[in-house]
Structure formats: structure tokens, C-alpha cells
Structure 1
């Protein structure tokens, strides 16, 4: 009898029963596709089914308990789906329940133990979801190669690892298990839940459902306070954060680079159910949007409508200038601070900076007034504006979005407000403008960033919403163009670094989008001249989009002049740059890899090398 009982328990633990498994989702009502948010989620109870947790690997690091595990997502088309994840919490949480976080990776990325480890050191339990099957953890690495071993059931392979099993459906991505599986599609296929067009067929829906089940996992852990749950994620994980935050158990959310701009799908069914605005309208919890100003996936121009769609009135935005799909510490740390405020009550986030743009002024130069929360010490106020925004910007504008140039304007304090002039280069294009306010942190915060790089932040940034002014309004206000075209691209004085950017601070390599701005267009037959110096002999790489040129420093800090024609820049295949007119970016760095075109198997070409000694000094960049 004892043997039979053990067998029964074993069968139940892996999702079998003596009868047919009960489906997680009900059949479509009258065989019709869900047409709205309520119909899409109809019949789903994220707390109803057992979790059937399987621990695959466990270890401890720095007084943090870490596990690779799987939990039951649900039953679809008669088969159980299990999601793999990394879970971690501080050992001290055994006596005092702590907040729990769901962390959701982006496309092509992994569930990663570093998110769980760094969050645990700050007092959080975290489950990092491997919705695509990939896992990064000591002693348990699952790359796309291991995912395929799992798909093929190659249990005798040395690198075989148990990972996410979507069963009869396909929530995998990059790659999907089925080559024709695309997340933006609601169409039917042999691996989809419904046999007609339905939002329940999309990987977005499946992964959001799995993330809501992760909330159930957290609330059932003895070390977690079930009333203090948060969710955050990057890129595709940003959209999934928004889809998940409709769950009333979520008390704080922080999507980065996603969740605001998926609105143009060809399918009316998809737009009415899985479009970002649909879920945003359901969100009642406090939410922080991390939206770099040049991000292609979560466009800054969509932020005003996104916050207007929320039911929640507790929101903030942080927008780094020039950045696309990456950020630096003062922006990334907003996630940790938002969770600290809303799940711990140990931090108070300043209010959103209020701005007012006055196009019509006595000197015909627009003026922006910024009112930050002066109840907190302000380190600085910066204004950024561009003429590269479009009224109905969409996915088709991806390259323009990623490479637009943001002018910088310094703001001066006048009592409790700051004022900045916004000089224009044109009145024939719309003006987009916003303000950043920087605040100090009383204590440095260490955490894992968007791609799990460990950063340390000693300050943070809050942004205003963007103000967009049509060209017609500028003309009607009789605004003057005061920023005239010039051959001097940069003199590298004072605040020049506001026009350039880098993701690896404080490393000196910098990138700019200045060359596509109206003010710095090259004269006909112009040459590019760079004056720079280096203490030691070194190589400097100038990268223009995918074309590069290499120059050598003699060393000794003597200023050297380097002169370039377009043909001096070559791509991976040796093709020369034809002209300057279509260049989007310029990067100055010690080394670069030129990669072949899409689909090529050729290796990348390494230019430059390890930099020796102190950073170079740039003196002047100009057309001649």
C-alpha cells in the first residue's frame, strides 16, 4: 500500500492524473475569438492550479539562497506547460517575510541569477523567468544550444539541461520552437491554443499568463509577503511587465523599453486585446516607465498617451537622452527606487518635474520653465530638445528614432524653478522638448541592469513628459532661428558631453548623432578634420555607422590633426563610404569590430586595440 501511494504521489508531482488533465483556459465562447481585454482573460484564474514546483539546482552565495526551478504554468491542449526560472532570497527572510519581485527578460535574453542575487542583498525575493528557456546561473547554463537539446530529448548529451517546456503550445522566442511562430501574430497554427485568429494564440499572452502564475509562486513562498509583489522587465520583458501588471496582486511595476508603443499591429483582434494601450487602461498600481529618448521599442513620443491611459495616478518616467535600448546607472536605478518606495516605504520618490514651454517670447527664442520637486536636493536640471520627432512615429521610423539628435540647453535656477532658452535651428519641423532633473542618493545602490551588468548608482534621474510643438505653432509665434549652420561640429569645451553618449561609464569612448542634425550638415566636397592628442602611442577608431577609419597617435600629448575623406571609411567587406550625407552616428573609440552583413558567416574584423595610458584629449571636430 505504501509503495502504491508513493507511485501515486510521484505521478501527480509531474502533472499526471488518472483522468484527463483539466484545461487551464475554457473553450472559446460560441467558437468566437476574444474581442477585448475581458474576453481574452475570461476563465483564467492564476491561483487555481497547483504549482508542482521542481527544484533543478540549488546553491548559496553571499547568504543568499538561489534555486533553478520549474513551476506549472497550466494545461493547454491536454499537455502541461512548465516554466523554468531562477529564484533567490536572503537567508534572513526565513524569519521576516519580504517583498517579492517578478523579473522578465527581453528578446534573446536569459533568466539570470544576478538579478536574484543583487535584489536579495537589498531585501527582496526575486523570480527571474526563463520564458524563452534560456538560463544563466552557476552550474546551470542553458543557451539556445541546450534549449534545442531539451526540445529533442537528448538526455544523454553532456550539456543537457531541463528547462522551460511549453508543451503543446509555443511561448519560446529567438528561436521559437516552430520557425513560423511570431509573437505579434494571433493567427492559428498547429501549435496554437485556438484554431481561429485569437489573442490566446500569441506568445505575448502565454508569457503574460506565465508571469501571473509567477506571482502565485511568490505569494506561496513562506519568505515572501504576498501583499508586497512587484514586476519589472526590459524590452519584450517591458511589454510583458505591462501585460502582467493588470493583475491586482501587483503593487509596483517598472517596464523598461517596452509596454507603450505596440499599437500598430495589422490584426484588429490583436490591437483590441494585446495592444499596449489596452493593458495600460487596466493598470491601477504605481508604475515607473524607463524610456530612453531614442528607444525603438518604447518610443518617447508614446509616453504622454500611455500615462493618460492608466487608471493609476502614481507614475513617473525617466528618459536618458540619445540612448537606445540601453541605459546607465542613474536611469536604471529607477526600478530599485520605485520598488523601495512602493513595497518597502523606505524611499520617497520626488514628484514628476512640471514643465511649461513658452514659444512666444520678447527675444523670439522659446523658453522652457521647469518646476522640480524642491523638497529634495536637486543636483542639476538639463533640457533636451530635437527636431527629429514625427507626429505619428511608428515602427517604420525605427532608424530615425534610434539616431535622432537631442540638443542640450542649460537651465538656470530662479527661486524654486529653473528656466532654459531653447534656441532653434529650424521652424519647418516640430519641436520636441523635455527636462531631466538629477537627484543625489543618500547611499549608493548596487543592482543588476537591463542586461544584468552590475552597476553602482549614487544619483538618479526623473524626467518630465515630453512637450511637442507643431511647426505651425512655432511659425505663428514668430520664433526666430538663432542656431545657424556651422562647420565647427564640436570644440569639446564646457558641456560637450551632453551631445555625446556612452553606455560604459566612465570609459572614454563616445558616440554622437550630431552629424545628421541640420546645423552640422557638411558643405559640398567637405573633409572631416579631427584634432586630438594622446599621452602614449595609440590607435583611434572613428566609426561612422558601419564604416571605420583608424589613425595613430604618436604620443607625448602633442596635438595631431587627422583629415578624412568619405572614402577613408570602409566597412567589413572593404566597401568605401560614398558620401557624408546619410551618416547617422559617429563614434570615437580605441577598438571596434566590423561585422559582415546579415546572413554572412564571415568573422568580424577587429580594428584598433587595447588603449594604453590616460584617455585621449579631443580638441576640435570640424568640416573643412
Structure 2
């Protein structure tokens, strides 16, 4: 009888402690789900009241925006609430809507919601990181006794010093045993599902026309939420790729996050995006950059290869890291117009392509459809398994009617990657939130040949056929720019360039009557860890006069740690020209700006 009373007391105590909890803690490792389906099976994002609170409202130009907070759940005896901007057109109609999830270090933005409301969408922009949104509003995201944020630098109520990827328990985790619910990603995915619930309950929203999109970490949140049956389309930006726990071929050091986990198997089956993409039934538009550090290029295709339907596309901004361009951003509008509003945007299919290998040569073909709108077809290839820093060489593709074909040699113990980018004309220019575009671009499938043994040393043994580093005869096709002024390239990572340290950098500058300042930035970030030397800078003033050739040794580049630059360990190379009289950058993406730089070479010099 006494034992019965003790057991009853313990059970009642357990109910009082955990009775209102969103999740009952797993007590043993045997209780922990071993796959994503089991992990989410018993969770109902509609079950708990949202308790929506409107903090402030703005009405401008036919758009209503509300600063709101709503309940995510109760975790460790404390309520978690998230702040957000809810924006919608003041049109007295039920509108298609989508959730936006910002990236790491970012915050919800009022202007973003206003823009999409002018495009006919209702949006809820969740402020999961908890950064201040309005200078005159203190009410914000409050995670209570849990913390899925990035630490006190961004979230004033942070409980940890930084981001928690691993599944191990600590005093702020849901479960006292290793569990996927202890990773920050899980709580953010819960908040994402609650945001869908928020949208579907709003009178201005058509609950049958909901989507989800997010940037960087928000792209990963999109991937972890995309299987929600309420969603009709998703658009992850520069995030959401699978297999983050697996190194690139050739064991590129630092190319995976596996070092963070004691149990990579449980992570891969419950938190990694590879556990979610096979169950996504809605159309997917994956937006990224060719050299993205977060959504590595090859992993995008590995992810889309898991999707069990054909309604997906990929678009990447070339020679760029973590920066989609206008041709990518416009596809968010197009995708949601088509699959949420039901307005046919005539989005071309993924350009059909083929890839064969015979007698040491790889043959690639692509036959884009919708040839009436097709403006350009570009075929790219690389032998470098490090997609974050590889230089995508433009192949010399030959056209035969509507098919482009290219052949490149295959090299022993080196992988080969090939794909095509197809650029299409839009029926009319589209005004985006920050710029305008008349074109969009779509990628073909990325074809790859991965040998059993990958020897990265073989990259340096390939023939050195590139004599001129750049002469701009093809404009800036091998470069990217974030401000349309400075330009950046990964060309130092092309294996056909002689990057011997005996070489010197030669740049011929035409001042064209201007007092200029030349600034060169070289960085090693995202190379294999042993090759990451850090950042280097070179600055030189250039006086008006005749064109002058500047020869720079690698030890003239300055590094804060006193290191010496090595040409083979330059991942990104940026050029900036500043007009010293106006203190303005020269627009090097323009033809006029490019005339200031006649050529760039790596030439034989004295040993450095």
C-alpha cells in the first residue's frame, strides 16, 4: 500500500511538472525516435492555442502590416513566444500566403512583407533569432527556458554562448538523453510549423494556398518543414541541402559538420535534410549560388535526387557565394504565383541533358525547351570536389539546332562535374524588392563522375594552358559582384593556371586621366582547412598618365598574422578601383570600368 502511494505521488508529480509541456521528455535512449517520420508523428502544430497578440499595426499604400507575437509552445515549464511581421494586401479577399524565415544573424523585416503584399501575398516573417525589429518596441521573441538561437550577440536572453547543432542534452534541452529534439533545428522547425498554423487561421489568408521560404538557415528550416501537408510549394534559398555530415570527395577537411556529433547516424536519420526531402510532396524551387558555403552545389542535386516527384527546379547565381541574383529572386515570385495563386507563369522545365563517358572523354548535351524565350545557354565543368571554392570553367559548347554539346577530358583519380545554365526572357520586366530583372535562369541536372579514389594532388598535375588570367574580352563572365563595382573570382582555383610561387601578379592599369587607388583582396576561406591562410590585402595609388604595368610579388600582400600569400591557396580574389577625387568605386561590371584594367597575368618572376 505504501509503495502504491509512492508511485501515485511520483506520477502526479510528473503530470504537474510536464502536464502542460508541448513535448514529454524522453526518459531513456530507447524512447528516442530513430527517423524523421517517427520524430514528428505525434506532433500537431494546431493543437495548442496560438494566443496571438498584436503589438502594433501600420497601414500604407493598400498594405496592412502587424507586429505580432504568438505562442510556439511550452518547454521546460516556460512558454516560448515568437515575434513576427504579418503583412497582407488590404483587398478584402483571401490571399495566397507564405511563411518567410530569415537567415543566421538576420531578423524579420517589415519592408519585405510590404513588398510581397504588393505582389498579392500575405506573409508572416518570423523573427526566430530574436534581434530587435523596431527601435520603439521592446516586445520580441522570448524562448523562455530553451534557446535555439545563435547566442547573446544576437539574442539578449540567450542561454548558451552560441549555436547548438548536436543532439546531446544540457540544462536547456528538451530531453535528458541524446535526442534530435535537443538540436536547435528541431525547435526552429516547431516554430515554422506554428507559423503555418498562424497563417491558415488569418481571415485574410486562403488556407488552401500556403507556401514556405527562407534564406540560409531559413532555407534549412524550409527543408525541415517542407513535408508539412498544408504547404503547396516551397522555395529554400541558399540553405536546405542534405548530407551536411559527409565530407566532399577527397576528404576535404572542414567540408562537413560531422565533428559536431557523437552520433552522426541519429543526426542523419532525424535532423539532416536527407531525412525530409523524400517525404516532400509539394513543388520545390531551390535557389542558391554556385559556390555557396551553406548549400553546397553538389548537395543541392543530391537533395533534389531524393524528391520523389519531378516538380522541382534549381537556379544558381554563378561564381557567387551565398548571394542569389535578380534572376534567382524573381523565381520566388514566379513559383508562388504558379503554385499558390494558380497563375501559369510558363516556367520552363529543368533543361533536359545527357552525360556519357567514352575513351577518356566526357560528352555533355543539353536541349532546353521553350526556345522562343531562351536567350543563352552556358555549359560549365570542373574537376575540383570542393564546390565552395571551385572555379566553374565555361566549356566551349557547340550548338546544333536546339541542342548544345561539349566535350571535356576525364582525368584519373579526379571527379568531373558538368551542368548547364539556361537564361530565359521574361514576358515583361519584374520589379523585385530591391531591383528589377527581365530574365530568369534555370540549371540543368548536375552530372558527376566520382572515381573510387579521389587524389586531390592530381589537380595540380593537370596541364597549365591558361596564359592570361583575365583580359575582360568576355566581360566579367568569370566574376561576380555584390555591388556592381568590385568584382570577385575563384579563378585562382582553376587547375589550368600555373600557380607556382615563383610567379608574380602582373596587372596593366589604364588610369584614363583619373587618380585611382587599386585594392586587391585575396582570401583562403572554405579551402580545405590546412590550406586556409586567412585574408590578404594589397593597396596601391595610381596617378594619371599612360597605362602602367604593376608587378606584385606575393609577399607584398599584407596579412594580419604576418603570413605570406601562396597563389595556390587563394580561393577568392577581389579587385576594387577607387576614384580618389570622388572617393567612389569604379563600376568594374561595366564596359567603361573594365577598360581601366587591360589584363591580369601570373608571370614568371624571382623566387619569393
TM-score if structure 1 supplies the norm length? 0.81
What's the counterpart of residue 123 of structure 1?
120
CA RMSD for the aligned pairs?
A: 2.8
Counterpart Cα distance in 2 of 1:322 and 1:285: 29
Counterpart Cα distance in 1 of 2:26 and 2:571: 49
What's the counterpart of residue 154 of structure 1?
none
Native 8 Å contact 1:370 1:419 kept in 2: yes
Is residue 533 of structure 2 the alignment partner of residue 547 of structure 1?
no
What's the counterpart of residue 466 of structure 1?
446
Alpha-carbon distance change, 327 to 524 in structure 1, aligned in 2, over 3 angstroms: same
Alpha-carbon distance change, 110 to 433 in structure 1, aligned in 2, over 3 angstroms: same
Alpha-carbon distance change, 174 to 36 in structure 1, aligned in 2, over 3 angstroms: same
Counterpart Cα distance in 2 of 1:472 and 1:130: 45
Q: 567, 574, 581: which is aligned to 2:568?
A: 581
Alpha-carbon distance change, 352 to 135 in structure 1, aligned in 2, over 3 angstroms: farther
Is residue 219 of structure 2 the alignment partner of residue 235 of structure 1?
no
Q: State the Cα deviation string for residues 250-285 of structure 1 (Å, max 9, x = none).
A: 100011222113542432322221111111121111
Alpha-carbon distance change, 36 to 482 in structure 1, aligned in 2, over 3 angstroms: closer
Alpha-carbon distance change, 413 to 184 in structure 1, aligned in 2, over 3 angstroms: same
What's the counterpart of residue 220 of structure 1?
201
Q: 328, 331, 337: which is aligned to 1:331?
A: 328
Counterpart Cα distance in 2 of 1:37 and 1:471: 31
> Post-superposition shift, 1:508?
3.4
Counterpart Cα distance in 2 of 1:73 and 1:486: 56
Q: State the Cα deviation string for residues 136-160 of structure 1 (Å, max 9, x = none).
A: 4xxx14xxxxxxxxxxxxxxxxx67
Native 8 Å contact 1:405 1:516 kept in 2: yes
Counterpart Cα distance in 2 of 1:482 and 1:29: 56
Counterpart Cα distance in 2 of 1:376 and 1:72: 50
Q: What SS class does the counterpart of residue 281 from structure 1 fall into? A: helix
Q: State the Cα deviation string for residues 275-328 of structure 1 (Å, max 9, x = none).
A: 111111211111111132211221121233312222333111112332211121
Counterpart Cα distance in 1 of 2:396 and 2:151: 43
Q: 366, 370, 373: which is aligned to 2:366?
A: 370
Native 8 Å contact 1:428 1:471 kept in 2: yes
Alignment gaps of 5+ in structure 1 = 1-17, 142-158, 390-399, 449-453, 475-480, 593-605
Native 8 Å contact 1:539 1:609 kept in 2: no
Q: State the Cα deviation string for residues 92-149 of structure 1 (Å, max 9, x = none).
A: 2xx221111100011111111122011111100111110111244xxx14xxxxxxxx
> Post-superposition shift, 1:483?
6.6
Native 8 Å contact 2:373 2:426 kept in 1: no
Of residues 462-471 and 114-123 in structure 1, the stretch that sits farther from structure 2 once superposed is 462-471
What's the counterpart of residue 339 of structure 2?
342
Counterpart Cα distance in 2 of 1:562 and 1:36: 59
TM-score if structure 2 supplies the norm length? 0.83
Q: What SS class does the counterpart of residue 518 from structure 1 fall into? A: coil
Alpha-carbon distance change, 226 to 296 in structure 1, aligned in 2, over 3 angstroms: same
What's the counterpart of residue 192 of structure 2?
211
> Post-superposition shift, 1:473?
12
1:524-535 aligned within 5 A:
525-535=502-512
Is residue 284 of structure 2 the alignment partner of residue 287 of structure 1?
yes
Is residue 65 of structure 2 the alignment partner of residue 78 of structure 1?
no
Alpha-carbon distance change, 531 to 225 in structure 1, aligned in 2, over 3 angstroms: same
Q: 494, 497, 501: which is aligned to 2:480?
A: 501
1:536-615 aligned within 5 A:
536-545=514-523, 546-555=535-544, 558-572=546-560, 575=562, 577-590=564-577, 609-611=583-585, 615=593
Moved over 4 A (4+): 18-21, 471-474, 481-484
> Post-superposition shift, 1:57?
2.0
1:181-196 aligned within 5 A:
182-196=163-177
What's the counterpart of residue 13 of structure 1?
none
Q: What SS class does the counterpart of residue 477 from structure 2 fall into? A: helix
Native 8 Å contact 2:509 2:548 kept in 1: yes
Counterpart Cα distance in 2 of 1:91 and 1:21: 41
Q: 179, 184, 199: which is aligned to 2:180?
A: 199
Q: What SS class does the counterpart of residue 498 from structure 1 fall into? A: coil
Is residue 288 of structure 2 the alignment partner of residue 308 of structure 1?
no
Q: What SS class does the counterpart of residue 333 from structure 1 fall into? A: helix
Native 8 Å contact 2:316 2:324 kept in 1: no
Native 8 Å contact 1:423 1:483 kept in 2: no
Native 8 Å contact 2:27 2:175 kept in 1: no
What's the counterpart of residue 457 of structure 1?
437
Q: What SS class does the counterpart of residue 341 from structure 1 fall into? A: helix
1:83-232 aligned within 5 A:
83-92=82-91, 95-136=92-133, 140-141=134-135, 161-175=138-152, 177-179=158-160, 182-232=163-213
Alpha-carbon distance change, 60 to 388 in structure 1, aligned in 2, over 3 angstroms: same
Native 8 Å contact 2:97 2:121 kept in 1: yes
Alpha-carbon distance change, 323 to 563 in structure 1, aligned in 2, over 3 angstroms: same
What's the counterpart of residue 62 of structure 1?
61
> Post-superposition shift, 1:223?
0.9
> Post-superposition shift, 1:376?
5.0
Alpha-carbon distance change, 280 to 471 in structure 1, aligned in 2, over 3 angstroms: closer
Native 8 Å contact 1:76 1:169 kept in 2: yes
Alpha-carbon distance change, 160 to 226 in structure 1, aligned in 2, over 3 angstroms: closer
What's the counterpart of residue 432 of structure 1?
417
1:18-37 aligned within 5 A:
22-28=20-26, 32-37=31-36
> Post-superposition shift, 1:497?
1.9
Counterpart Cα distance in 2 of 1:470 and 1:216: 43
Native 8 Å contact 2:101 2:221 kept in 1: yes
Counterpart Cα distance in 1 of 2:518 and 2:347: 42
Q: What SS class does the counterpart of residue 268 from structure 2 fall into? A: helix
Of residues 58-67 and 228-237 in structure 1, the stretch that sits farther from structure 2 once superposed is 58-67
Counterpart Cα distance in 2 of 1:84 and 1:69: 6
Of residues 578-587 and 70-79 in structure 1, the stretch that sits farther from structure 2 once superposed is 578-587
1:368-407 aligned within 5 A:
368-374=364-370, 376-389=372-385, 400-407=386-393
Alignment gaps of 5+ in structure 2 = 1-15, 246-257, 455-460, 524-534, 604-608
Native 8 Å contact 1:85 1:135 kept in 2: no
> Post-superposition shift, 1:46?
0.9
Alpha-carbon distance change, 482 to 305 in structure 1, aligned in 2, over 3 angstroms: closer
> Post-superposition shift, 1:486?
3.6
> Post-superposition shift, 1:471?
5.8
